[in-house]
Structure 1
Amino acid sequence: LKRTVFSMFHAIFGYTVSFLKTWEGALEYCRTHYNDLASLSTKERMDSALLEITQAETEYVWTALRYLAGDWLWVTGDALNYTAWYQNEQPKCPARDLRCGALDKQTRLWRHKNCEENDPCDPVSPSC
């Protein structure tokens, strides 16, 4: 499966980037070329993201959501007031490798995923 990086630019316009990255790789790429990974911290941002991911060719897109020091947070610094977790349940103390947040295209909700998950293809190639 391919993975797509998702970023927000000025928190209004969404961009999907069609090459493969781990969560850290996606964060670095988005901070270098755009602004940051998407912080879906409000219903309005979430609605914008849901419109954007319809164009993604992947099952999910990375977000700025990360589990660090015992809490889920937006690495952008936004408050975690709005939530849209799969099955309406925020993962508590997730396994060490499931501490990165993604927006699932099918369920249209947040999921915790393996931060190192990546396609075996060359990450700079848009297709395998």
Structure 2
Amino acid sequence: MGRRDPRADIIDDDPFKQKPRIARVHSHRGDDGTIHFEMNGSSTGSINPLLAQFMGLQPNKPANLHTGGIWHFSDEEKKHLRLATAAFTLALGFMWVGGIRTLLATSLSQWMIQLLLAMPVML
């Protein structure tokens, strides 16, 4: 392979100096017909670890088993969930009795009883 004339560096930089070297891949076929790849003399070489794992060059690691509970809610999150559930139930109760407009057509006690009876049904 030819080399670059060092006198050319006076005019411009060598564009191929920064280029990474190409990794050589050697392969051989086993007795059973399986093709085995060796990269740079080691099993993984200098290739991307994700690619090495995909190609089966890295040993498989078992998945970590989660032993904790499924739900991990803080007290603040639980409080917000209770408030949201109560607001949603109240809104459904208002829809059931016809909203505030029906309060003018009926008495306050009748409207309130309908609202309170409808809210648990909506849960």
Q: What TM-score do you get using the length of structure 2 for normalisation?
A: 0.17
Richer in helix (by share): 2
- CA radius of gyration, larger in: 2
